[in-house]
Chains A and B, each alone.
Chain A
């Protein structure tokens, strides 16, 4: 997950972290409700979860890219994209 969070660590301010964490926890709690298949970049198994955070009057857009482990007991997040 270190590589997955590269972009967030470079581009997002610390103020978005609580909301980012909450969003990822929502995804983990119910991935079928929040995720949808992603045609790119990893169509064999990849899913995506777009969400946004409003912090200090500014909207930050995120997309978490993930897939399920083989036994479907874990989510593996391989990238989190961010833009304002």
Chain B
């Protein structure tokens, strides 16, 4: 697993340099050219996410097949890559917003928005998730009705 994740980290470096190039564009370059570049970046971002998910699914299959194959350390590494992808997607979507405000249609933008929303809905705070699962395993969970009552009291 380690080698696969290192490879993904290197690929994120490529996304990073694309995103930085976009910031320069915001000030200096022609909008039409920049939009084309933006579409390339979106394609790269989507491809990165597909690759990350494939690695994740392979690891999940491995964990289910091999007793003791699960490790929180690997969860943490995947979480960091998903978070990194999400941060980059937000930067790219900021640039998409500028492009769209100029009247351009950016291919792939809607798909990137949807994928970014999906990643935001993942459970990426590894320490909190681990704490939550350990607490449940130790019998310190609370009944559903009580949890909802407490949530209601908190939000009022």
B63 adjacent to A43 (CB under 8 Å): yes
Tally of A interface residues using CB under 8 Å: 35
| Cα distance, A65 to B75, chains bound together (Å) | 15
B83 CB, nearest partner CB in chain A, Å: 12
* Pairwise interchain contact B151-A8, C-beta atoms closer than 8 A: yes
In contact, A9 and B75 (Cβ under 8 angstroms): no
Within the assembled complex, what's the spacing in Å between the Cα atoms of A79 and B136? 11
> Within residues 30 to 46 of chain A, which ones have a CB less than 8 A from any CB in chain B?
37, 39-44
Q: Of A37, A40, A65, A77, which one neighbours B78 at CB under 8 angstroms?
A: A40
Is the C-beta of B147 less than 8 angstroms from some C-beta in chain A?
yes
Report the interface size class on chain B: 35 or more
Residues of B within 8 A of A12 (CB): 155
**B150 touches which of A2, A43, A63, A83 (Cβ 8 Å):** A2
Q: Can you list 18 pairs linking A and B with CB atoms under 8 Å apart?
A: A3-B128, A3-B132, A4-B132, A5-B151, A14-B155, A24-B148, A28-B144, A39-B57, A40-B56, A41-B79, A42-B129, A43-B70, A44-B63, A76-B133, A77-B144, A78-B132, A79-B128, A81-B120
